[in-house]
Amino acid sequence: MIDHLSIAVSDLKRSAGFYEAVLGALGFSRLVERPGTVGFGKRYPEIWINHRPGMTRADPDTGHHVCLRASSDEAVRAFHAAALANGGADAGAPGPRQAAMTTYIGAFILDPDGAKLEAACFPRPE
């Protein structure tokens, strides 16, 4: 079980606004603010952004991404739209995808520093 994750950001103020909007679409809120770090979560900080002013933009082809569970396909779409409206970039529009064992609805985005995130939901068969 993963307890939390940390993401490095070059501009804490800009990224805090970005992540507040994007994670808000998935039910997270800003819970903790300290010098150099902001924590987001539902009940406790599960995602931290950490200020690293000297970092360079991430290469979009590292093969690394973090996938966050969404409650619905509407939440996946809201996550993607919030990213585009707040300085992020599209890395895979919302839609159906084939996972190893099932299909799901997912969307990929890049944060302002190039970190790749995905939102996914697994609808029940009708």
Tokens linked to 70? 């969404």
What is the pTM assigned to this prediction?
A: 0.93
Closest to 71 measured CA to CA, from 125, 27, 22:
27
**Residues shown for the chain:** 126
The residue that leads in pLDDT, 1 or 45, is: 45
Return the CATH number at 116. 3.10.180.10
- Would residue 40 count as lying in a domain? yes
Domain around 88: 5-53+60-121
CA distance 55 to 46: 22
Number of domains in the chain: 1
CA distance 58 to 117: 12
Residue 100: per-residue pLDDT: 83
Q: For 43-102, how does the pLDDT look when each residue is reduced to its tens digit (9 = 90+)?
A: 999 999 999 999 998 887 888 899 999 999 999 999 999 999 999 999 999 999 988 888
- Would residue 126 count as lying in a domain? no
- Would residue 39 count as lying in a domain? yes
- Would residue 107 count as lying in a domain? yes
- Would residue 31 count as lying in a domain? yes
- DSSP annotation of 84: H
Burial class for 114, CB neighbours closer than 10 Å (0-12, 13-18, 19+): middle
Residue 126: per-residue pLDDT: 62
